[in-house]
Structure 1
Amino acid sequence: MKILTSEEKQAHISHVIAEGSKGLIYGAVLSAGIFTYLKKRHPIKFKKFNPSIKTCIVTMPTIAVGAFWADQGSWEFDQKMHQSDFQEAKLMEEFREWNSLSLSNKIFTVLSNNKYQIIIGAWAASLYGSWVFVNRDKIMSGTQKAVQARMYAQGITVILLLGTILLAMKEEEINKSKPAPIPRWKRIIMEKEAEEKQILQEFEAKKKQEAEAKAAEAKPVEA
């Protein structure tokens, strides 16, 4: 059994926290959806709920999804770490690169890695929010409300596009500060060498165990 170093433990904790945070966000979105659905579609039943039940509706899905993602993150990290020596070295190198980034660069990196989910989610939320905001007006007709909501949504879309360009520029700046990536052909060779080394070590360990077992069997039993 391999004993983890302090750096490997920190890498494991960091990965679990990152995946658990994603789960908390997804769980919060799910909780908000369930809460809104019950409040809008079943208002009479919803009013009968006491504060404890309403709190559970918000917290339980959030905690459950967050815990699931954290557990999956722990399992995925272990799988990657034990896949091969090369994969382990690669994972630790990524962890060191992440730790070397400043807080602002870490935030930009997270946003950049999840930019499509953020853009789609923000765009959908802007459409819904624009319609809810405009729909409060009792004077405008339905057609006027639709046109007004579309104008708000278009303005938010332009802001999102500008944000995407900013993220792309910042991502390029961060990538320039990183060391040059290893070519694919070299990574393949390094991975194969690491796998062969691991197989050889396992073979030698097995031979040693067999030799020790034979020596123990051949040793005369003292009367």
Structure 2
Amino acid sequence: MKLVTQEELKEFDAVTRDGGIKGLALGLGTSVPLSLYLQRYSPRYQRLPVPLKAFGVVMLTSATTVIWAERAGLQYDKRRYSSSLYSEEEKTRIAENEKAKAQRLSIGEKATNFVNENKYSVIVGSWAASMVGAWAYISRDKLQTVSQRIVQVRVFAQGVTLAMIIGTALLSQKERQERKEHPPVDHSWMNQMRQKPEDATVQKVTTA
């Protein structure tokens, strides 16, 4: 098992932070102009209270920040740990096997894999989508005040988020169980032996 060094932890933190900053910039660059546009041209948006408008900006910005930070961290892990162990031929073989395996998966299995690989993005995206959808639905009730609508939207979004967290936890548990029952075969040692043939000679002499 490879131990993570302090340098690698710092690199991971830096990469994740950079991804989060990019997501923050994207979120602000999208949500603020959109809010200003709606404030100018949408009478319904103009009637909304300022805290609710600010909440919309924060919601979109938070979602993009988390998603970009997560993706940056995943790409770093893949580049740092997965790719460095294999030769180019081995990488090509693994990519072809993964592609063939993906083609055999059902729609449900593909969806499960996507959720497992993008847990935080799915949770934050579901939370944001539930907030928007719930607000659009509850706004049809003209008898409720804005405060009452906000409370209902928040409760609904919290329920959806809790359900998504439980669902992703169950999927992660299922994936760990499957990996335990069917562990992947690691051929990286073959590449390391080819790169360092003297190690193989030493091993033979030692075990002779």
TM-score, normalised by the number of residues in structure 1: 0.42
Larger Rg: 1
TM-score, normalised by the number of residues in structure 2: 0.44
